[in-house]
Every structure is written in C-alpha cells, then in structure tokens.
C-alpha cells in the first residue's frame, strides 16, 4: 500500500453494489425493522437483481431502519474494487469474506467523509496537514486486499483520525458566539430544547431520540454520531452544523422551514 490511490466515491451507488447492506448486516425486529434477520442472510425483500422489492414502501411496511442507513459508498467499493465485480450469488466462495469486509469498508468510508468535511473548515487549517495524511492512509486501506482489510485494527485507526476530527471541531466551534455547551455522549432522549441557542455545542455521540429541537440554532454544533431518530427539527437551523450526515436527517422529523447545509437533501418524508 505504498501509493495513495484516488479517493473513493463517498456516496452510495446501489446500482454497482451487490446489496451488501441487505445481506451482510443483521437487524432485529423493532420500530425500525419489521422482522429479525441474521448477518449473512439475504433480506426477504431482496430480489434476484439485487434490488429491494419494497424500496418505495420501506417506511409504510415497517422498514424505516433501511431508509436511514448509508454505507458512504462502501458497498460499491467492496463489490467492484475489492472483489472485482464478483457477486456473492454467482461466486458463493466470496460471500463470507465479502460480508466480513463490508462493515470494515463502511467505517473507512465514514472516516473519509468526516475528514473531507474537516478539510473544508477554514478554522481547522492548523490540522489540515495532519488530516491530509490521515486521509491518504485511510484511502490506501480502502484499496487493500480483502485479507488485509479483515486484519486491520479499525479502532486504532479510528482513534487516530478521531483525535484530529475533535481538534478540527474545537477550532471551528471556537468561532461560535454562543456559550459552547458540552453534551458529548449525553442522554437527551425526549429533551425539550425548543428554540435553544446551541451554536458551537458538542453533541458528539449524544442520544437525541425524540428530542424537541424545533426552532433551535445548531450552527457550528458538532453532531458527529448524534442519534436523531424521531427528533423534531422543524424550523431548526442546521446550516454550518459540523459532521451532519444525510442519514441523520432521514432519521429526524423536519419541515420546509428547517435550514440544512447545501450539500444535503431535504428528506421526502418531512412535512411541507
């Protein structure tokens, strides 16, 4: 892995993936999934052409969890690069390794997604050089062979990159005029934060399930890993929020008044 390959695409391309999220990953019957499914077992809704048979009706049929999952492009990377276009149906000998590699690749792509955003933050310029080195190292791993990927110490890599992301966050949030609230890892399920000034707050890994954030100002808030399932974001201002992802928006409730970054898409299920 001496040379640094081109950065992989960090957006899912399902047409070039062998439905790995529908096969490799397990899910349990809950409010997010209508049934139980073991890892390595194809979902009952998966068709022979690797497409979902209920894609347009996922929320209505009890599979809301599928609508908030994003592989950050790991699916097509594993399918087309790591395994060279050999799918698990016609090449069953690849199945076990493919299912093992997919979650590793997803973590690598997620890291690259966050690093790419950190590199766009002018305030984080003091750590840009280190971030670029971390980006190059992570990109090299995405081009590695399957055996190397399954042996990768992912927590160690995540730890190194996360240190840089945290520093980038601190530098960016320092520009927020409000008092920087620290809610890192906090249990804020159902919390009433209507209209709160949360500029520059730290919500890394916070549980915001069903929290009322309507009308809240979340500009420059660090939202990496925050759980927004069923959170009320109607009228909230998320412009410039740090490390906000499309899956987080899909998991929440919003409306036409919710302000989101231009790089993200307003979910179709949000109120008009």
pLDDT band at 4 (very low <50, low <70, confident <90, very high): low
Q: Is the pLDDT of residue 1 over 70?
A: no
Helices then strands, counting H and E runs in the chain, come out as: 7, 0
Query: Does 145 lie in the same domain as 211?
Result: no
Number of other CB atoms surrounding residue 260 within 10 Å:
20
The whole-number pLDDT of residue 265 equals: 94
Expressed as residue numbers, the domain containing 163 is: 14-172
How much is the mean pLDDT over the chain? Answer: 95
The whole-number pLDDT of residue 167 equals: 98
Nearest alpha carbon to residue 231 among 179, 196, 264:
196
Q: Within a domain: residue 9?
A: no
Q: If you count them, how many residues does the chain have?
A: 272
Token pair 């076990």 is at which residue?
96
Query: Does 132 lie in the same domain as 50?
Result: yes
Query: Does 263 lie in the same domain as 151?
Result: no
Nearest alpha carbon to residue 163 among 198, 122, 140, 133:
133
The whole-number pLDDT of residue 3 equals: 59
The whole-number pLDDT of residue 225 equals: 96
Query: Does 130 lie in the same domain as 195?
Result: no
Distance from chain centroid for Cα 125:
24
The whole-number pLDDT of residue 248 equals: 97
Nearest alpha carbon to residue 205 among 228, 185, 229:
185
Query: Does 239 lie in the same domain as 220?
Result: yes
Query: Does 190 lie in the same domain as 210?
Result: yes
- Give the CB-side neighbour count of residue 240, counting CA atoms within 13 A: 16
Report whether 142 contacts 108 (CB < 8 A). yes
pTM: 0.93
Report whether 23 contacts 43 (CB < 8 A). yes
Query: Does 153 lie in the same domain as 67?
Result: yes
Q: What is the distance between the alpha carbons of residues 254 and 241, in angstroms, rounded to a whole number? A: 15
The token pair at 224 is 């990496």
Q: Within a domain: residue 165?
A: yes
Q: Within a domain: residue 134?
A: yes
Report whether 214 contacts 233 (CB < 8 A). yes
- Across residues 141-150, what is the average pLDDT? 97
Domain boundary among 172, 202, 228: 172
Q: Is the pLDDT of residue 256 over 80?
A: yes
Q: Within a domain: residue 7?
A: no
pLDDT band at 193 (very low <50, low <70, confident <90, very high): very high
Q: Within a domain: residue 127?
A: yes
pLDDT digits (tens, 9 = 90+) for 94-142: 999 999 999 999 999 999 999 999 999 999 999 999 999 999 999 999 9
pLDDT digits (tens, 9 = 90+) for 40-75: 999 999 999 999 999 999 999 999 999 999 999 999
pLDDT band at 178 (very low <50, low <70, confident <90, very high): confident
CA angle (31 as vertex; 30, 34 as ends), nearest 5: 60
Return the CATH number at 181: 2.160.20.80
Q: What is the distance between the alpha carbons of residues 77 and 69, in angstroms, rounded to a whole number? A: 16
Nearest alpha carbon to residue 200 among 172, 230, 229:
172
pLDDT digits (tens, 9 = 90+) for 211-246: 999 999 999 999 999 999 999 999 999 999 999 999
Q: Within a domain: residue 2?
A: no
Query: Does 162 lie in the same domain as 253?
Result: no
The token pair at 2 is 């001496």
3-state helix, strand, coil in the chain (%, to 5): 35, 5, 55
The token pair at 214 is 């309507």
Strands (DSSP E) contained in the chain are none
Domain boundary among 172, 190, 223: 172
Q: What is the distance between the alpha carbons of residues 250 and 68, in angstroms, rounded to a whole number? A: 5
Q: Within a domain: residue 267?
A: yes
Domain boundary among 172, 191, 222: 172
Query: Does 187 lie in the same domain as 68?
Result: no
- Number of compact structural domains in the chain: 2
Query: Does 251 lie in the same domain as 167?
Result: no
Query: Does 226 lie in the same domain as 104?
Result: no
Q: Is the pLDDT of residue 262 over 80?
A: yes
Report whether 249 contacts 268 (CB < 8 A). no
Query: Does 223 lie in the same domain as 122?
Result: no
Torsion from C-alpha of 210, 213, 215, 216, nearest 10 degrees: -170
Q: Within a domain: residue 54?
A: yes
């Amino acid at each position: 892995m001496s040379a640094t390959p081109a950065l992989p695409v960090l957006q899912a391309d399902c047409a070039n993936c062998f439905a790995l999220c529908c096969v490799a990953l397990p899910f349990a019957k809950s409010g997010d999934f209508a049934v139980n499914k073991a890892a390595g077992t194809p979902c009952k809704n998966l068709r022979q052409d690797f497409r979902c048979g209920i894609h347009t009706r996922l929320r209505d049929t009890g599979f809301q969890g599928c609508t908030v999952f994003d592989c950050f492009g790991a699916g097509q990377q594993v399918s087309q690069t790591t395994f060279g276009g050999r799918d698990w149906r016609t090449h069953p000998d690849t199945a076990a390794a493919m299912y093992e590699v997919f979650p590793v690749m997803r973590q690598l792509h997620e890291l690259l997604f966050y690093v790419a955003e950190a590199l766009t933050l002018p305030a984080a310029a003091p750590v840009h050089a280190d971030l670029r080195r971390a980006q190059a190292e992570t990109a090299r791993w995405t081009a590695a062979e399957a055996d190397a990927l399954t042996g990768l110490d992912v927590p160690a890599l995540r730890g190194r990159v996360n240190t840089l992301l945290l520093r980038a966050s601190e530098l960016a949030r320092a520009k927020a005029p409000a008092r920087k609230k620290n809610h890192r890892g906090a249990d804020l399920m159902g919390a009433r934060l209507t209209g709160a000034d949360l500029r520059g707050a730290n919500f890394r890994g916070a549980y915001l399930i069903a929290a009322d954030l309507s009308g809240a100002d979340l500009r420059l808030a660090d939202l990496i890993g925050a759980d927004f399932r069923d959170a009320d974001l109607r009228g909230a201002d998320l412009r410039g929020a740090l490390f906000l992802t499309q899956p987080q928006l899909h998991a929440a409730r919003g409306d036409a008044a919710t302000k989101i970054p231009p790089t993200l898409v307003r979910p179709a299920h949000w109120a008009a």
